[in-house]
Amino acid sequence: MEHEKDNLKQEAETTKPEEAKTAAAEEAAPEAAPAAEKEPVKDDKKKKKKDLKDALAQKDAELADQKDQHLRLMAEYQNYRNRTAEEKKKIYGDAKVDCVKELLNVMDSFERALEAPCADENYKKGVELTFAQIQKAFEKLGVTEIAALGETFDPKVHNAIKQVDDSDFESDKVCEVFQKGYLLGDRLIRPAMVAVSV
């Protein structure tokens, strides 16, 4: 019996250092394992962070490109709007000028009718009233008569059809008007047909 106790004691003594070594190894292993695991985790995080930064930079570049395209498109659209507005204005102005040009012939006929002798006073008064209405309509449209008689000849608004040696007028002055000229705003509709003194 004593012999068995001694054997057990020896076994315990021999196993204790082995168990102690195993226990120490187990204790050391968990500490070493997380350190080894932490390095790949850090690398993964760094890689993910770099990938996200790259993706963000790419999306920022795409956004900047889209913004640039949008701004260019808006600029083109604004230019288109301005151009079409100018074209409409020009077309409207041209149509207005064409219409007024045609009505000027009617105005000339009324002026000749007013200058003609007429025995019927009511008829003459009716022509005068109609002529006054046409003049008011022209004023509303912005049509103005070009000053000519006695004015210095201006080739921009006067069309000289003859030169006259007239002592009543200084040289280069309009001494006779054959047909009145008109402006629509600043735009010349018809130059005045005049004679110029020499």
Q: Three-state SS across the chain?
A: CHHHHHHHHHHHHHHHHHHHHHHHHHHHHHHHHHHHHHHHHHHHHHHHHHHHHHHHHHHHHHHHHHHHHHHHHHHHHHHHHHHHHHHHHHHHHHHHHHHHHHHHHHHHHHHHHHHCCCCCHHHHHHHHHHHHHHHHHHHHHCEEECCCCCCECCCCCEEEEEEECCCCCCCCEEEEEEECCEEECCEEEECEEEEEEC
Whether the pLDDT of residue 68 is over 70: the answer is: yes
- Model pLDDT, residue 85: 92
Whether the per-residue pLDDT at 11 is higher than 80: the answer is: no
pLDDT of residue 110: 86
pLDDT band with cut points at 50, 70 and 90 for residue 62: very high
pLDDT confidence of residue 6: 57
Per CATH, is 142-198 categorized as 1.10.287.3510? no
Does pLDDT of 67 surpass 90?
A: yes
pLDDT digits (tens, 9 = 90+) for 113-171: 888 888 888 888 988 899 999 999 999 988 999 888 888 888 899 988 888 887 777 88
Residue 42's pLDDT is what?
75
The predicted model scores a pTM of: 0.56
Predicted pLDDT of residue 133:
92
pLDDT for res 73: 93
**pLDDT in the model for residue 124:** 87
Rg (C-alpha) for the chain, rounded Å, is 53
Confidence of residue 7 (pLDDT cuts 50, 70, 90): low
- Residue extents of the structural domains in the chain: 142-198
pLDDT band at 32 (very low <50, low <70, confident <90, very high): very low
Residue 29 pLDDT greater than 70, yes or no: no
